[in-house]
Structure 1
Amino acid sequence: MPRTAADYPHLFTPGRIGTLEIDNRILKSPQSTATSNADGTVTARTVEHYKRLGQGGVGLVMMEYSFIDSDASKAIHNQLGNAHREHTPGLGWVVDEVHATGARVGLQIAHGGRQKFLGTAPIKSATDSSWSDVEGQYGVVPTPMTVDEIDAVVSAFGDAAARAHAARFDIVEVHAGHGYLITNFLSPHTNWRTDEYGGSFDNRARLLLRIVDDIRAKVPRDFPLSIRLSVTDYEPDGIPIEETVELCRRLEAHGVDVLHCSGGHHAGMEWEVSPWYQVRTPHRWGWEKIKDAVSIPVIASGSIVSPETAEEILASGSADFVSLGRPLLADPDWARKAKAGRVLEITPCIRCNDGCLHRGLNKGRSVGCSVNPSVAEEGRFPVTAAEESRRIAVIGGGPAGLHAAAVLHDRGHDVTLYEPGELGGLLNHAQGSTVKQDLAALARHLIHEVSRRDVRVVARAADAQTIAEGGFDAAVVATGAPDESPRFPIEGRLPVRTAAQVRVTDAPRGRVVIVGGGFQGCEVALRVSAAAATGEATTVTIVESNDGLLAGEEVFTDAERLPLFLDAAGVSVRCGHTVVGIDDEGVRVETAGGVETVPADAVVLALGRRRADSALADELEAAGVDVRVIGSAREPGRVFDAIHTAFFTARSL
């Protein structure tokens, strides 16, 4: 049954943080965009980004973390700055533009600590405990801060809060989580100081409480103050939840108005920016303990991707507000669409970390998004009416074809989509899977976007003759890429399927062997493990010829952390095993010790995909049709490539 606004009464109830009244309970979580100038001053891109978020209907837009001094607080390229009065005019510009949309706006202030992505000296932290990523790339180890430097940082936070007040922000937030400086002091994992800032909980909490006191002394009491913190850093020797709860009690006593609860740090990114294989709302257990201990509002944060989840959190009393980061990059109109009951129109975040981080900030670019090509480029790529309406055929109903058909329709073209199978293409393997629920949501969204438009869908394949005789002016080829063929014999009656053919409803059981340890093999192994019934004797083994899993150009959170989840799921991994054949007994592999058989009741081939041939495009071109090739039909890729090539191609026709 379709959702309506009445299904989300708590989401759209006004809320209050201190003296600040907010129209609804939805916040845009602060996320670095890297759209500022190199000196931290605001650019027009920064303004347009936050204005667009305000237009989307959220109650409070919390701007990204801003550095507070010119010493060691700046963490990332083109980071927003709030270290000098020269930063204030640009910040005020953003405030005025967001206020004009009807939303409230806040600013997060932060010190990078040991997580200085720039890798340049000085890196200052509680101790010389190093984040391996920075040390490994740049060789710079943190310098333990002196007491005088700590005093200066405390004052810098207070001054930055005062500048935020002067710029007329509605609220200021101190970043005390995610492995940045304040967390470096709070966590025993990174703090082994022996002075008054190390050792006991009281000492490790001293820096943050001093910062809060300094801010309270420098801004009016009715200027709301938020603290963003990790419920824990998820390190065995890290911050225990009992300490976080006690810290929150003390923060309330020191004049903090709201607690913004997240988790993890950069050495454990599967918690801080939870990927598709992580559970949704992973920090709920922690923020609920905090809520039980304080009387000020609690903001829930972390993989709250759907209105249903957000509403349930609020309705159950789990938290007072919900904070959305990546979901509002995927669709800045998330709140507006939810309020109107148009939930299937929301472009869902798929928690891939590809566009925002892997191909975005991690590459030294500005933030991006796999499913929203306009992030950080708001207003530059409008979908406007074409100069001339044309008859256009889209060949293929996977993610690229579906998105292209919708955009082409919106440009005023007469669109026919040809797909002989299920709409959704390779995304359909995700339907019903708990570990691929985000990708399944994207498939439902893309299909809905075509179904609600006047796009003709023809349930058959289209060849060059069909298109030429159909009177089409142009054709978009979105037929995907074929699976790589096995280079070994398959004999006997053992059931053998490809990864895309594995669905939850008929996932293989018993001894399942996955041939291939790239992304495709790892994700299907996790799906099969999750689909196995409780107590069912299903084992999953990956065989891979390389020395390790995920040896290709994989998203960093997949490459670094997915193997941990495979291990937790009980998936066996055999690397350095080259498959030489499949027979009734199982999968024959060659190793340094000779040939052996991995026993199997079912085999899944996850050999990747090969480049599609250009025969159809060549025939269309020879017939005089204006032809464009998109998605994996152009080059095997991920969702990012499908959506981006579809969007920009459709804009050009």
Structure 2
Amino acid sequence: MTNPYYPHLFAKGKIGSVTLKNRIVRNSMGTYLGNPDGTVTDRQIKAYAEAAEGGAGLIFMDNCVPVPMTSCGLRADKDEFIAGLTLLAEAIKMHGAVPGMQIAHPGRDASFVGSEDVIGASPITYEPWYQMGARLPRALTIEEIHDLVSRFGDAALRCKKAGFEIVEIHGAAGCIPTNFLSPHDNKRTDMYGGSLENRMRLLLEIVREIHKKCGPDFPVGVKLSTEDWEPEGIRIEETIEVAKALEREGVSHLNMMGGTHATAAREFLLPNAFNAVHTRMIKEAVHIPVFIGHNIFTPEEAEAMLAEGNGDFVALGRSQLADPAWARKARCGKAGDIKPCINCMIGCIDKGMLGHTPIHCTVNPTLYKYECEPITEAAEKKRVAIVGAGPAGCEAALTASKRGHQVTLFEKRGFGGAMVEASRPDNKANIRRLIRYYEEHILADPNITLVKENADFDTLAHGGFDAVILANGGKTRRLQVPGGDSEQVLYASDYLLGNRKAEGTRAVVIGGGITGAETALELLREGKEVTIVEMADAFLASPGSASQAYGIEIAQSPIQILTGKRLIEVQPGQIRLTDRWGNESVLEADCVVVAAGYLPQNELADRLEKETNLEVFHVGDSKKVRQIYDAIHEGFAAARQI
């Protein structure tokens, strides 16, 4: 029967000889929940079961390496690993999905996963990584290439024996096949370099080897980058030819993505479904199923991708981290209950892939936290006051309600807190979905009463509450210099909200953090000449995908950056700066936009703790100014303790 909500998304589909119950694929992102030696853990088995129970038709999770390598992924280089892999495949099948395994060798990227042997087509890597200390890969010999091809075939056979019904060769994101496919990374002069025919030889030989060892009817797909976003690298025109060659070799499907591990931060700035045009070009060039992924977050977006002919299946990764039940909720017409991914890349990429920790999610504080009991009703129901309806307060309110507590949420301005300003740039519009999610669920919750006013000490201390969660956010760091209160000075929060306009043509942004970068780019789009002034020696000093993405975009723009400079005075049409040695300079400025960040607010928390017997929890920016990730996770943790 046709699904009444998303007919294309929940139609059956085939990958080779395998039938899937719907067109939703849980894309491989890795969990980093395994043991360092590549053996399977109980937590990993639970993660695979949870993913399958979420309703997707095909489940990929961790990568499986075909060679000895220490990591927190999976290994299939010896028969002794088959037993653990079998437990994973069985967990997926028991929960109604088809188990798939992605086989990957990190190639040049092995420098970042602890491998002693970093290999590639040539001794070339992504230049910014080399400047950060990455080792150059050594070029494989012909004999080593043949051995590696054989190992891919053996690994695939072990996965088949373990019960995985589809395997996928990771030929994207900087893994070993892309080191050969890329004309930048591959400078070989033998049969594996030069022409595109030679550069795709390794990938085609791997496909043939797997077919030889697993049989021609065993589905073998390939993940490809449409483009790798690297200088002189992989481009869509050549990828189309690679796709055609792979189809001739009998691959079961093509799973399309963009970029590499080195350039993944670019996704932060790209619109939803940004890879649709290139993926459709691949689909129109072949007759086998094509997976479309990347920045597809809602069932409506996924349905549209299939209906428009941009792909045959939708491969989702981060969306199913934010809400593992994404597919199940969509199937039942409950898309509004799906916790939305906001494309922040903090938990999954910054803390997971780049941070070498088990993968996390900003909006889903329960992800893979199997040591914590599920939320249940508290033995003693309490009256809980929550101050602030930003990310920490909203998460705390919903969690406390699930515990059966009666919640009073104080918020004068409106839902979202600092997320409102943060969602102003187009590339962060997905945050608006999270704001709507919180608002709709809180307003519909009978255990939560919204009070549209600020809460002071007396209200909290004498309001009959048992516990208080202070999540009232940080306060704007004010400019304390002569002329700081003049008309030409405005604050980034007011500017991003549209409360104040930046007058004139020459704009100076004070502050070189994330907010400063976003503000500068918005001003640039208005046609202004923009200069960023940062007191520290480094611009965008905090690590992470957002800093990397903004850094690249601003480096390619006419925005000027002055580091090691401090504002000391605002004068009509100009500002005065000084460096640490007292050397002063003057900069012309029609407007000054202050993006100097926020300060915590500890006064109310300190007083409540000293003068009352209330349980007091202090969370989010109100306690310490950090990221949205910290706010949501702290709000959740506080509420579950009451």
TM range (shorter): over 0.9
- Distance change >3 Å, CA 583–CA 307, structure 1 → 2: farther
Alignment of 1:422-461 (within 5 A): 422-431=414-423, 433-454=425-446, 455-461=448-454
How far apart are 1:340 and its partner, in Å? 2.9
AA aligned to 2:103 is I
Greater shift after overlay, 624-633 or 396-405? 624-633
How far apart are 1:545 and its partner, in Å? 2.6
Alignment of 1:501-540 (within 5 A): 501-503=494-496, 505=498, 508-509=501-502, 510-511=504-505, 512-530=507-525, 532=526, 537-540=527-530
Of the three residues 473, 477, 480, the one matched with 1:484 is 477
Q: Which residue of 2 aligns with 1:362?
A: 354
| 1:205 and 2:200 are equivalent in the alignment | yes
Greater shift after overlay, 395-404 or 461-470? 461-470
Contact 2:124 2:137 (C-alpha < 8 Å) held by counterparts: yes
| 1:598 and 2:588 are equivalent in the alignment | yes
Instruction: Give distance in 1, aligned partners of 2:425 and 2:113.
Output: 39
Instruction: Give distance in 2, aligned partners of 1:268 and 1:68.
Output: 25
Instruction: Give distance in 2, aligned partners of 1:166 and 1:111.
Output: 20
Q: Which residue of 1 aligns with 2:380?
A: 388
Q: Which residue of 2 aligns with 1:614?
A: 603
Instruction: Give distance in 1, aligned partners of 2:592 and 2:132.
Output: 40
Instruction: Give distance in 1, aligned partners of 2:126 and 2:427.
Output: 29
Instruction: Give distance in 1, aligned partners of 2:47 and 2:472.
Output: 34
1:604-624 per-position Cα deviation (integer Å, ceiling 9, x unaligned): 211111232233442354122
- Distance change >3 Å, CA 308–CA 587, structure 1 → 2: farther
AA aligned to 1:499 is A
Alignment of 1:120-159 (within 5 A): 120-131=115-126, 140-159=135-154
Q: Which residue of 2 aligns with 1:54?
A: 52
Instruction: Give distance in 1, aligned partners of 2:523 and 2:53.
Output: 42
Of the three residues 63, 82, 86, the one matched with 2:80 is 86
1:483-534 per-position Cα deviation (integer Å, ceiling 9, x unaligned): 222231235752433222234655635433321111221122234445x4xx
Contact 1:119 1:140 (C-alpha < 8 Å) held by counterparts: no
Q: Which residue of 2 aligns with 1:191?
A: 186
Alignment of 1:324-473 (within 5 A): 324-378=316-370, 380-431=372-423, 433-454=425-446, 455-473=448-466
How far apart are 1:448 and its partner, in Å? 2.1
Instruction: Give distance in 2, aligned partners of 1:265 and 1:24.
Output: 28
Q: Which residue of 2 aligns with 1:549?
A: 539
Q: Which residue of 2 aligns with 1:558?
A: 546
How far apart are 1:23 and its partner, in Å? 1.5
Q: Secondary structure at the match of 1:494?
A: coil
Of the three residues 258, 262, 265, the one matched with 2:260 is 265
Of the three residues 565, 575, 581, the one matched with 1:577 is 565
Of the three residues 166, 171, 175, the one matched with 2:166 is 171
Q: Give unmatched runs, 5+ long, in structure 1.
A: none
How far apart are 1:140 and its partner, in Å? 3.7
Q: Which runs of 4+ in 1 moved over 4 A?
A: 131-139, 504-507, 567-570
Q: Which residue of 2 aligns with 1:101?
A: 95
1:221-265 per-position Cα deviation (integer Å, ceiling 9, x unaligned): 332111001112122311232211111111011110100011212
Greater shift after overlay, 641-650 or 216-225? 216-225
How far apart are 1:167 and its partner, in Å? 1.2
Alignment of 1:209-228 (within 5 A): 209-228=204-223
Instruction: Give distance in 1, aligned partners of 2:126 and 2:228.
Output: 13
Instruction: Give distance in 1, aligned partners of 2:468 and 2:372.
Output: 25
Instruction: Give distance in 2, aligned partners of 1:492 and 1:332.
Output: 49
Q: Tell me how many residue pairs correspond in the alignment.
A: 635
Instruction: Give distance in 2, aligned partners of 1:599 and 1:135.
Output: 38
Instruction: Give distance in 2, aligned partners of 1:529 and 1:45.
Output: 47
Instruction: Give distance in 1, aligned partners of 2:531 and 2:351.
Output: 31
Contact 1:370 1:644 (C-alpha < 8 Å) held by counterparts: yes
Q: Secondary structure at the match of 2:255?
A: strand
AA aligned to 2:539 is L
Contact 1:494 1:586 (C-alpha < 8 Å) held by counterparts: no
Instruction: Give distance in 2, aligned partners of 1:488 and 1:112.
Output: 52
AA aligned to 2:288 is I
AA aligned to 1:584 is P
How far apart are 1:390 and its partner, in Å? 0.6
- Distance change >3 Å, CA 347–CA 44, structure 1 → 2: same
Q: Secondary structure at the match of 2:344?
A: coil
Greater shift after overlay, 87-96 or 439-448? 439-448
Q: Which residue of 2 aligns with 1:25?
A: 23
1:74-118 per-position Cα deviation (integer Å, ceiling 9, x unaligned): 3x7312111111111111111111111111120000111111023
Report the TM-score when normalising by structure 2.
Answer: 0.94
Q: Which residue of 1 aligns with 2:6?
A: 8
- Distance change >3 Å, CA 634–CA 594, structure 1 → 2: closer
Instruction: Give distance in 2, aligned partners of 1:645 and 1:310.
Output: 32
Q: Which residue of 1 aligns with 2:34?
A: 36
- Distance change >3 Å, CA 434–CA 279, structure 1 → 2: same
Greater shift after overlay, 614-623 or 79-88? 614-623
Q: Secondary structure at the match of 1:607?
A: coil
